[in-house]
Structure 1
Amino acid sequence: MTRWTEAEAMAWWRARDWVCGFNFLPSTAVNFLEMWHRDSFDAATIERELGWAAELGFNAFRINLHYLVWKHDRDGLIDRLDRVMGMAAARGIDTIPVLFDDCGFGGVEPVYGPQPDPIPAVHNSRAVASPGRALLLAGAETDGFHRYVADIVGRFRDDRRVLFWDLYNEPGNRMVFAPGGAALYEPDFSAQSLALMEASFELARACAPEQPLTVGAWSTPVAGVTEAAYETPIDSTALARSDIVTFHAYLATDKVDAIITALAQRGRPMLCTEWMARPVGSRIADQLTLFRDRDVGCVQWGLVQGRTQTWLPWPEELVAAHGGDADRSVWFHDILDAAGQPYDPSEVETLRLCTAG
């Protein structure tokens, strides 16, 4: 297969309702290893929280898999993914699987097995990359990475529950959220990420999936937004290889609007697959209608307050760089508390109005 044409991509987009979704980890999982591991997979919580999401009007969700779970328990991972997609589909929610992810904000390499409790007061303190930054740099398991892509995409290549394949989340992201609120950076591994991303596109296309492929442009500047926002080698390659345009934007509304205008020139469907961070001006009240009115799908970060602690802010300097204030009295991400009650009832009303049809 080759990359979809613009006409094919737009036909796919016009055949469905406007996409309004969320990035999901159940409230009982500290990271995606804990979500998918056989000993900590929490089907009851996942089912309950997907039910809450459907009641809010969401029709899609984005979930990261993990290479190490596939490596150690391939059949179990595929069975659990099938079950979760079935739970979601029964509630009118499509699935966006993510195969790789460089966001190892916890600063440690992933280890298959029981996961530690969150570090108190630290946002996403146990986030681990997939396959892991050290494994990526070592290059010893590249064949395994390739088999993983072919296996997962091949297994679900014609499954109508899959909305699209998001092959790699934020390739090259080397940030660490350290205890004490600092943002640190690990050595550059972007060349290895780029190589794996390009291979993933080729391997996934070889499976002839009926769903589109994408990797999101994520390294947006915060001082100003132009087409140059996506001229890193990884982002420019991602946009050139993707069937549909996806991007991340934890930014104020005027900057998001500028990103949409720049990316619209590509003539393909657009979805913002990560957004919604209240203290930096990325708010449901302001941006949900923007996405809807400009026919841009949106997949916000977070659903239920839980072990990821993503209602807490990013490191202070990172929030400030995005024009915000790390005010811990304001939830950063997430919509519902552990009992399913909304943090801000007006957000829930906006969601229901915008997704009502």
Structure 2
Amino acid sequence: MLPLTRRLAFIALFSSLLTNVYAQRQRWTEKQANEWYSRQPYLVGANYVPATAINQLEMWQADTFDPKRIDMELGWAEQIGMNTMRVFLHDLAYKQDPEGFKRRLDQFLSICARHGIRPILVIFDSVWDPFPAVGKQRDPRPGIHNSGWIQSPGAIALQDPTEYPRLERYVKDVIGAFARDERILAWDLWNEPDNTNDGSYGASEPKNKVELVVKLLPQVFQWARSANPSQPLTSGVWKGDYSSDDKLDPMQRIQLEQSDIITFHNYDNEVEFERRIKWLQRYNRPIICTEYMARSNGSTFQKILPIAKRYNVGAINWGLVMGKTQTHLPWDSWQHPYVGREPAVWFHEVFRTDGTPYSAEEVNLIRQITGKAQTAERRER
């Protein structure tokens, strides 16, 4: 039999391991979530991909990773007071080159930090092209919104359970590598997980896509929590009625019950935006809108941003700089391409490719909301 002191040490070690495993798998309490949010500035930012990238792979692959362009564009964001960005990663960029991918992510985080920006990093995404492939990415299709954006995981991996261990390694390794990194604001584990892309790639989607993701998403939360990140985890609700618990569909229930902080998308007018904030207040957790601002759809900075600030809801619009994603074009460009013509009003984006604001009025409002305008005034005195 082991000596008493060694047995006690073993018991203490085993208890510590059990405590750690238990702690790793717990959702933050409301108190933890709200204490975290109280330490943050008012969060304003954009969904970000550099103008030189058509999608996540072109952003992150070694041959097309563009730190100089990223540094310049995030400088423009800093000038108007933005302090966060929502940035999409990709499982195939990691699979192709795990260590190189993490080095590039570390470099990106250093660029963000120089500009006072702490990003939300998106792990998986169910929107647009379901057949991603590494290597050279295709050129934009003329006149079409987001014509080259790709899903992660793609349809083939999603339908193949033998691929899930690879996805698990990706989640655990990436989050684990940066689990204590203060440069990261949060992890968004799956963007619009039940989006079936009916207006674009719907015919190519797996018939049971939603069923597959409903089964996989709880595992993704578990994988992420096993890395014990210091940053909160989330997955944002984006459609339907979530005004009461009895109206939640299975995906919404997973997202809202597993998330440490509550996130949502809304591209509608100010009335609908405010209504959805009120729906989500019942969870007594921080709320961040991680996608909004579609001008011709009634979602504008002027209408939405003051409401978000009043409710202390973080606001991350779609798009920073016009570029290869072509998301300054509206969704209906899939049915009616804007070939050789510009829309009467840009759909998304804050800056033109050369850094000129699309709208001086919008940029001035963002500066006022973020306090950047007041800072500039104090410097001038």
Q: TM-score, normalised by structure 1?
A: 0.92
Q: CA deviation at 1:207?
A: 1.3
Which letter does structure 1 place at the counterpart of 2:357?
P
1:340 alignment counterpart: 355
Residue 234 of structure 2 corresponds to residue 214 of structure 1: yes
How far apart in 1 are the matches of 2:247 and 2:189? 18
1:52 alignment counterpart: 76
Q: CA deviation at 1:82?
A: 0.5
Mapped contact 1:23–1:302 kept (Cα < 8 A): yes
Q: 1:272 aligns with which of 276, 282, 289?
A: 289
1:191 alignment counterpart: 211
Counterpart of 1:265 in 2: which secondary structure? Answer: helix
Q: 1:67 aligns with which of 75, 78, 91?
A: 91
> Which residues of structure 2 form unaligned runs of 5+?
1-22, 337-341, 373-381
How far apart in 2 are the matches of 1:339 and 1:7? 44
Identity %: 39
1:263 alignment counterpart: 280
Residue 258 of structure 2 corresponds to residue 241 of structure 1: yes
Q: 2:110 aligns with which of 77, 86, 89?
A: 86
The higher radius of gyration belongs to 2
1:323 alignment counterpart: none
1:102 alignment counterpart: 126
Q: 1:131 aligns with which of 153, 175, 179?
A: 153
1:322 alignment counterpart: none
Q: 1:167 aligns with which of 169, 174, 189?
A: 189
Counterpart of 2:159 in 1: which secondary structure? Answer: helix
Q: 2:365 aligns with which of 331, 342, 350?
A: 350
Number of equivalences: 342
Deviations 1:114-172 (A, max 9, x none): 00000001100011101212210122200000111100111000000110111111112
Mapped contact 1:50–1:91 kept (Cα < 8 A): yes
TM-align CA RMSD: 2.0
Residue 54 of structure 2 corresponds to residue 30 of structure 1: yes
Mapped contact 1:213–1:243 kept (Cα < 8 A): yes
Q: CA deviation at 1:316?
A: 6.7
2:344 alignment counterpart: 329
Deviations 1:210-254 (A, max 9, x none): 111111111236xxx733797121111100000100011111110
1:205 alignment counterpart: 225
Which letter does structure 2 place at the counterpart of 1:259?
R
Mapped contact 1:172–1:188 kept (Cα < 8 A): no
Mapped contact 1:177–1:183 kept (Cα < 8 A): yes
Which letter does structure 1 place at the counterpart of 2:79?
E
Deviations 1:261-317 (A, max 9, x none): 110011000000011100111100111111011100111100000000000000279
How far apart in 2 are the matches of 1:96 and 1:197? 18
Mapped contact 1:123–1:177 kept (Cα < 8 A): no
Mapped contact 2:125–2:191 kept (Cα < 8 A): yes
Counterpart of 1:61 in 2: which secondary structure? Answer: strand
Task: Check 1:73–1:18 CA distance in 2 against 1; reply closer, same or farther (3 A cut).
Answer: same
Which letter does structure 2 place at the counterpart of 1:31?
N
How far apart in 2 are the matches of 1:299 and 1:196? 26
Task: Check 1:71–1:25 CA distance in 2 against 1; reply closer, same or farther (3 A cut).
Answer: same
Q: TM-score, normalised by structure 2?
A: 0.86
Counterpart of 1:99 in 2: which secondary structure? Answer: strand
Which letter does structure 2 place at the counterpart of 1:83?
Q
Task: Check 1:243–1:130 CA distance in 2 against 1; reply closer, same or farther (3 A cut).
Answer: same
Mapped contact 2:145–2:334 kept (Cα < 8 A): no
The structure with the greater share of residues assigned to helix is: 2
Which letter does structure 2 place at the counterpart of 1:257?
E
How far apart in 1 are the matches of 2:55 and 2:67? 15
2:248 alignment counterpart: 231
How far apart in 1 are the matches of 2:307 and 2:316? 13
Mapped contact 2:82–2:370 kept (Cα < 8 A): yes
